[in-house]
Amino acid sequence: MKKKLFILFVLLLFSSYFLYSVDFSVIDGMANHEDKWNDALNILKTYLEQDLDNGDKAEICWRLSMFCQMIGDSKKENTEKRKWFSDGKQYAELGISFDSSSYKSIFWRSANLGKDVLTRSLFDQMGSVDKIWDDYITITDTLGIVDYPEVWHAMGEFYWRNPFKSTSQAVSFLKASIDCRNSKKLDLLSYLILSKILYERNWTAKKRATEINKMHNNWNKPGSVNSVKYSYFEGKNGSSFIPEWATVSLGEISDRQEAEILLLYICMYYEHETDHSYTNIKCYNEANELLKKWK
């Protein structure tokens, strides 16, 4: 009964916006709480039936795709995961049909496809990898979007998980993702993945200083498409740069020292917050486990 009243309340809250545009702030807040995901999905489906312009419909569709991906990712059985990821991909494609420049619809299509790929054998994955990467390139290079942190995060994970790609470029993409997040409430997943990649790369402080300065030169070269330019993002400010999570410059510490600092930063941030998202809870727990493991 309480759940039905909550959904009714949110629908009434938004009904006054239908003649103009939809305010998604409440729905977006529901993404932080796993127990609200199905409610958000039902509300969005109701919105989609309204007489809205194509821009608003695309906004609804990418959110439907996002919630499908998150719900699917929370399931244990691959068959159930794939069902949700398939639904998410279809909603994203519907969003693209409403607005071909909806980069968030394009992103969540690739996000659902990428999650689906991880449930399948290596042979079955091969046909999807290029499609996923093409969506990322469409966003960053064709549409010129460089301030969407989710796409840089995804590109970083893509490079990290692909044995034929550069770990250093993965670091750059993850740092670009963190850099363009302007919310006061952090999504800690990029920090966690970045720490893992740095721990694996394992450069000494001396090697880091040299390589970061090389990347700095490449970052400043004119004429590169965004996907190439941002693959050097780690060197954007040179080896003397001090990131928000450290008290010393990038060139003064090793990869594994920075990895540990990132984990401590995750824990410090989490312990000072009160309203924790589903993702941040998982990141905090894993960060604590890794700190024990890496000692």
Q: Confidence class of residue 2 from pLDDT cuts 50, 70 and 90?
A: low
* Average pLDDT of every residue of the chain: 92
Q: Which residue has the tokens 């059985």?
A: 77
pLDDT in tens, 192-238: 999 999 999 999 999 999 999 999 999 999 999 999 999 999 999 99
Q: Report the pLDDT value the prediction gives residue 3, as an integer from 0 to 100.
A: 56
* Band of pLDDT at residue 181, cut at 50, 70 and 90: confident
Question: Apex CA 189: angle with CA 219 and CA 66, to 5°?
Answer: 100
Residue-wise over 173-182: b if at least 16 C-beta within 10 A, else e?
A: bbbbbbbbbe
Give pLDDT tens digits for 34-58.
Answer: 999 999 999 999 999 999 999 999 9
174 vs 209: CA distance, rounded Å: 19
Domain boundaries, the chain: 31-119
3-state secondary structure 210-264: HHHHHHHHHHCCCCCCHHHHHHHHHHCCCCCCCCCCCCCCHHHCCHHHHHHHHHH
**pLDDT value for 17:** 44
